[in-house]
Amino acid sequence: MKASYIPLIAAAAMLASCKPTIKGVTPSSGEANFSYYVAIGNSLTAGYADGSLYRSGQENSYPAMLGKQFMTVGGGEFRQPLLPGNAGWPAPKRVLGYTTSCDGVTGLGVKLYAGASDTSGSSTSISGQGPFNNLGIPGIRCVDYTVPGYAAIAQSLAGVGYAARMYPHPATDRPIDIAAASNPTFFTMWLGSNDVLGYATNGGEGSGTGGAMPTDISTTAAFEASYNAVVDAMTLKGAKGVLINIPDVTTIPYFTTIPGRGLVLSTPTQVAALNAAYAPLGITFTLGANAFIIQDPAAPGGLRQIKNNEYLLLTLPQDSLKCGGWGSVKPIPKKYVLDETEVGYVRSATNTFNEIIRAAAIRKGLGYVDAHSYLGTLQSGIRFNGVTLTPTFVSGGAFSLDGVHLTPKGYALMANEIIRVINSTYKSSVPQVDINNYNGVLFP
């Protein structure tokens, strides 16, 4: 895609940073007890990035950053179920490198890591090395937390044993029981994104209103029951903590990188040919940028132009756009499109789930991190010590190469927002993270 090829001059500029100017603070735990901190969540909590899980990503997860800062106010050791290497597991991670597209143009683009594998032993259970402070499980939904044998079920469905590496009894353990058994004095809980994200990233696969498909949006009743059960379990013995809500997934690079009006016609001949082909459907084209043609079973002829409030997925094959006629002489398949009805389902569910999360925080007197609003401010850029981060794919620095998960810099942003809420809620003064100590997207 065009956005995947970044000029080297721009790359060099991105690598420049300003000298940190963090102000000193007097660390204090305030009304909180950070002696045993536990992080509950999904891939965002685990440190997942670049389309995979790997050791340095885990080491630069936001819970690991928080654990380090908590040590200044009485926090203890923070232990994670670290993978043996950095190649990516179960699939290779994405990296920037030079690629040649179907039209013969070579440039800097996204490809899979092709270096030496260091993943041997990744699927081996290490539950005996626990307990772990980071209980983030890539792929887990909120509604999965009360399912007995979740680890074994997930492994059989997806072939990935993230939870099976950590849970002592994968065939019977419930995630909620593993979390409760950790007995934290303080916890963070960023849970619920996957209850809408799977539906969205699969192009609206499912009913959008809580069907049986694993990728469908969770039902409100199931989400509320599971979420409140986990919060109750974590606070049963008096632990304090913060709850983090669900971001607007339609603002992430996975959905915003490929523009809907990306069909650029540069000659009158191209315009005339497409106008003649689509005249029976009343679709017209002009010189310059035009909306792509997409599949829509409900439209005349089963196709139409994409609307401004609809999104193309980052997984859309770029060579098919460039050389295969997709979006012009051929409609883009529906599975690569999130249409306006599907967007409505995603946003409605996100708002409903976030209200459940906010209500739980109020009910239990916990901190509430509004990630939906905070990450929304990325659209205009978040500046820290001379460095501005945005959600722009590759060059923005906040999101990794899968367009969904954050870079270490992005996770550091979230760590600081969590710390801000902790300090405000519990009258503590946990020092913030120096974002400039962490990487954005790595260039070759």
Distance CA 217, CA 135 (A): 23
pLDDT for the residue 157: 84
Split at pLDDT 50, 70, 90, the class of 13 is very low
Split at pLDDT 50, 70, 90, the class of 206 is confident
Residue 138 has pLDDT above 50, yes or no: yes
Entry field: residues in the chain = 444
- What does DSSP say about strands 337-338 and 367-369: parallel, antiparallel, or unpaired? unpaired
Q: What are phi and psi of 383, to 5 degrees?
A: -105, 135
DSSP per-residue codes, 152-203 = HHHHHHHS--HHHHH-S-TTT--HHHHHHHT--SEEEEE--THHHHHHHHTT
Average predicted confidence (pLDDT) for the chain: 93
DSSP-based three-state secondary structure for 348: helix
User: Token match 């109020």: residue?
Assistant: 362
Distance CA 405, CA 400 (A): 6
Q: Which two tokens mark 310? A: 């609809």
User: Token match 């339609």: residue?
Assistant: 250
Contacts of 227 (CB under 8 A, 6+ apart): 142, 191, 192, 353, 356, 357, 360
With contact defined as beta carbons under 8 Å apart, do 202 and 177 qualify? no
β-bridge partners, 312: 337
β-bridge partners, 94: 112
Tens digit of pLDDT for each residue in 372-406? 999 999 999 999 888 899 999 999 999 999 999 99
Residue 2 has pLDDT above 50, yes or no: no
Distance CA 170, CA 152 (A): 5
With contact defined as beta carbons under 8 Å apart, do 224 and 218 qualify? no
Residue 198 has pLDDT above 70, yes or no: yes
Tens digit of pLDDT for each residue in 23-43? 566 899 999 999 999 999 999
pLDDT for the residue 331: 98
Tens digit of pLDDT for each residue in 153-194? 999 888 788 999 999 999 999 999 999 999 999 999 999 999
Distance CA 101, CA 116 (A): 25
Residue 18 has pLDDT above 60, yes or no: no
List the one residue out of 208, 104, 198, 126 whose CA is nearest residue 158: 198
Split at pLDDT 50, 70, 90, the class of 211 is low
Split at pLDDT 50, 70, 90, the class of 215 is confident
pLDDT for the residue 6: 33
Look up the CATH architecture of domain 2-254+340-437: 3-Layer(aba) Sandwich (3.40)
Residue 84 has pLDDT above 90, yes or no: yes
Residue 89 has pLDDT above 90, yes or no: yes
Q: Which two tokens mark 402? A: 């899968």
Residue 212 has pLDDT above 80, yes or no: no
Domain limits, the chain: 2-254+340-437, 263-338
**Distance from first CA to last CA of the chain, Å, rounded?**
18
Q: Which two tokens mark 58? A: 């885990």
The b/e string for 53-85 (b: 16+ C-beta within 10 A; e otherwise) is bbbebbebbbbbbbbebbbbbebeebebbbbeb
Q: Which of 214-218, 225-229, 378-382 has the lowest mean pLDDT?
A: 214-218
Residue 316 has pLDDT above 50, yes or no: yes
Split at pLDDT 50, 70, 90, the class of 205 is confident
The dihedral through the CA atoms of 272, 275, 276, 277 has a sign that is positive
